[in-house]
Structure 1
Amino acid sequence: MSVQHRALATGKYIFLFLLGLGLLFLAFRGQDMSALWAEIARADPLWVTASAACVVAANVVRAWRWNLLFSSLNFRVSLRNAFTAVMVGYLANLALPRVGEITRCTAVNRSNNIPLYASLGTVVTERLFDVLVLFVTLCGMLAFQYAVVGNFMNGLLNQVLDRLQTGGFTVLVICCCAAIAVAAFCWWYLRRKKSRSMLRIIAGLKQGLRSFELLKQKAAFVGSSILIWLLYFLSVYLALFSLPATAHLGPQAAYTALVFSGLAMVAPVQGGIGVYHWMVGQALACYLVPFADGLAYATIIHSSQMIFILVVGSLALVCNLVCKPETGRPGSAA
């Protein structure tokens, strides 16, 4: 990568980080910070711990689900190595958004010598299923909770339409055309280049993307995908009991907060900082929870997850770097 490209990439990540900080500032602007921190200090650590435990369990299931895709490609990866790679990826996402997917593939390449682009194809397959589950949960929220969240969703849609009418539509069309042009150029370049390295990259990606097609345990994969999101839901629900201001809320509010938090984490911002707090605060506001209390709840659950990623992710990174590599020889996943 040239110096110019490195500078552009660095500038992009700095911009996204500053954008996240800006959104965080907007979320907390006008709030009584002393009252907010006093509310956070009242949080019941037992419920916060129970919520964090569900996130840990979800990541273990995620690692196991990833192993299913590896086994369909006749690669062997231990659950420990898969979990370690997943946590290294989350740690990388805190620094650079979306780089975690590549980082965890690099980690499993180091620990088990799994071809990088084959594992990247399995990650793409995973993410497609996660997006599908998020879409289904979003549709469920709109179908059963529209009376509660309808006003907020309509207001948000009207803001988007207003932006499009004031020149945003032109920007959107230009961005779409640019994305299509870049994709077409990359496809043309890869077909024209046809070097051995490029062919290996394409073959590896195709192999990884076919992992679900070759999977014999499709029901287990789909079931584990649903279980991951059920554990995320349980994490959000249990965290409600940590604060007096949210303890009265039921599963419906937790479901809405889960959908809003899932949409927030799609944003290309490190750790969803700022976006997560604003979205979850708005979700609980739909259930007549003061926005300040919603921010306190969002701060508690987001901070507990970030602490978990920083601690476990750092340990996972050290383990991946110092532990003796294992073979990824053909066989079923251990």
Structure 2
Amino acid sequence: MPKKLKSILQIVIFLGIGLFLIWLITKDLTDKEKEDIKTALRNAHYWLVIPAMIIGIASHWARAVRWKLLIKPLGYSPSTLNTFFAVMVGYLANLAVPRLGEVSRCGILARYEKIPADKLVGTMIAERAVDLICLILLMVVTVLVQIDVVGGFFNTHIWEPLQQKFANAGTGQLGILAVVLIIVLLIGYFLFKRFARSKAAIAMRTLARGVLEGILSIGKMERKGWFIFYSLLIWALYFSMLYCGFYTLDETTHLGFKAALAILGFGSIGMIVTQGGIGAYHALVQKTLLLYNIAPTTGLAFSWILWLAQTLLVMVLGVLSLILLPVLNNRETKKAPATGPDPDLLKKINQPNS
């Protein structure tokens, strides 16, 4: 399948899922409920979105600084501004094509900082793994601190459907899947051995080594404490941004710490499921707010305010990053020639352990 066609299909499929979810949660709304949503949106305190957006910018900056900590053990020290721009371009790309952002931000930083892209891909994978661990911990804490409220929701809407899916698969289907997987692995191993000296195989091995080196950069970090700090700071800023959002509607101002934890956890899952979180984010935030006796119409209005604020922030910063990257880097290039890896860092990495 041509690459361009594949990209178009990805956009259509994920956008279609998102639009279908929006239709699903709005199709049965009565005229009164639609009017209630419009009233809630009209009466919202939109000026409170401004501090939430400032907090959002701080979270993206913290992510850029954390990424720099992962890159430094590889012998490179990119500028924080270029790293921040790359992160924002990645988020912007994710709005268009799911998971394209991860590749885009690595490509941007590789281009402007002269860092091998394969190594950057490894650091990105490591970073995403840490984010996944943080999300899992957040969900565990969310359920534990309010087991009576969120525990039931988690069990009904997430755990039971997963169990049902595996139960419906049956032993025979799972066995066939295992056999197919083994055959695919064996064929892959045979082809790799058969064409081990081909240019494609050599390129794949080089890429794999670079990716592995990037992933292992976590273990080589000298400032692991700062990495943990920034990881926690990113999620604390996400939490603060969401908490600010409570004050945009009079009906949600009374919601506290526990509700914010639940919305952050389930909303983050919604952002992962569909392109830019469209549809899935709104549905999960609305369902979560029902647990705290917030009317479905208010919950839907609140989800739209939060989603639009985050999406607008990414779009504005992403476009600005695309504009400023070549301008600022051309100016820096005129001042001084591009440099390669930091010699002192490379010396430390290559120095044998005593």
Above 0.5 in TM-score? yes
Structure 1 residue 203: Cα displacement: 2.1
Tell me: CA distance 1:122–1:246, structure 2 relative to 1, closer, same or farther (3 Å): same
The percentage of counterpart residues that share the same residue type is 30
1:227 aligns with 233
CA contact (8 A) 2:7 2:97 kept: no
1:60 aligns with 61
Q: Which has the higher contact order (CA 8 A, sep 6+)?
A: 1
Structure 1 residue 24: Cα displacement: 1.6
Number of residues paired by the alignment? 330
Structure 1 residue 198: Cα displacement: 2.3
Segment drifting more, 172-181 vs 36-45: 172-181
Corresponding residue to 1:293 among 298, 323, 330: 298
Amino acid at match of 1:83: F
Secondary structure at 2:125 match in 1: helix
Tell me: CA distance 1:223–1:199, structure 2 relative to 1, closer, same or farther (3 Å): same
The correspondence of residues 191-270 of structure 1 with structure 2, limited to 5 A, is 192-194=195-197, 195=199, 196-267=202-273, 269-270=274-275
Tell me: CA distance 1:319–1:186, structure 2 relative to 1, closer, same or farther (3 Å): farther
Segment drifting more, 165-174 vs 132-141: 165-174
1:22 aligns with 20
Structure 1 residue 218: Cα displacement: 0.5
Structure 2, gaps ≥5 residues long: 346-354
Structure 1 residue 25: Cα displacement: 1.5
Corresponding residue to 1:280 among 282, 285, 296: 285
Tell me: CA distance 1:177–1:310, structure 2 relative to 1, closer, same or farther (3 Å): farther
Tell me: CA distance 1:305–1:110, structure 2 relative to 1, closer, same or farther (3 Å): same
Q: Distance in 1 between matches of 2:235 and 2:172?
A: 37
Question: In the alignment, is residue 304 of structure 1 matched against residue 304 of structure 2?
Answer: no
Secondary structure at 2:76 match in 1: coil
Tell me: CA distance 1:117–1:301, structure 2 relative to 1, closer, same or farther (3 Å): same
CA contact (8 A) 1:233 1:255 kept: yes
Corresponding residue to 1:271 among 268, 273, 276: 276
The correspondence of residues 148-187 of structure 1 with structure 2, limited to 5 A, is 148-156=149-157, 157-166=159-168
Structure 1 residue 321: Cα displacement: 4.2
Question: In the alignment, is residue 313 of structure 1 matched against residue 305 of structure 2?
Answer: no
Tell me: CA distance 1:8–1:45, structure 2 relative to 1, closer, same or farther (3 Å): closer
Segment drifting more, 44-53 vs 54-63: 44-53
Question: In the alignment, is residue 12 of structure 1 matched against residue 10 of structure 2?
Answer: yes
Tell me: CA distance 1:265–1:177, structure 2 relative to 1, closer, same or farther (3 Å): farther
Amino acid at match of 1:158: E
CA contact (8 A) 1:190 1:198 kept: no
Tell me: CA distance 1:315–1:187, structure 2 relative to 1, closer, same or farther (3 Å): farther
Q: Distance in 2 between matches of 1:174 and 1:28?
A: 40
Tell me: CA distance 1:294–1:221, structure 2 relative to 1, closer, same or farther (3 Å): same
1:123-151 Cα distance to aligned partner (Å, 9 max, x none): 00100100011111111111111111133
Q: Distance in 2 between matches of 1:213 and 1:37?
A: 51
CA contact (8 A) 1:125 1:209 kept: yes
1:147 aligns with 148
1:29-61 Cα distance to aligned partner (Å, 9 max, x none): 323333212212222123211112111100000
Tell me: CA distance 1:12–1:103, structure 2 relative to 1, closer, same or farther (3 Å): same
Structure 1, gaps ≥5 residues long: none
- CA RMSD across the alignment: 2.6
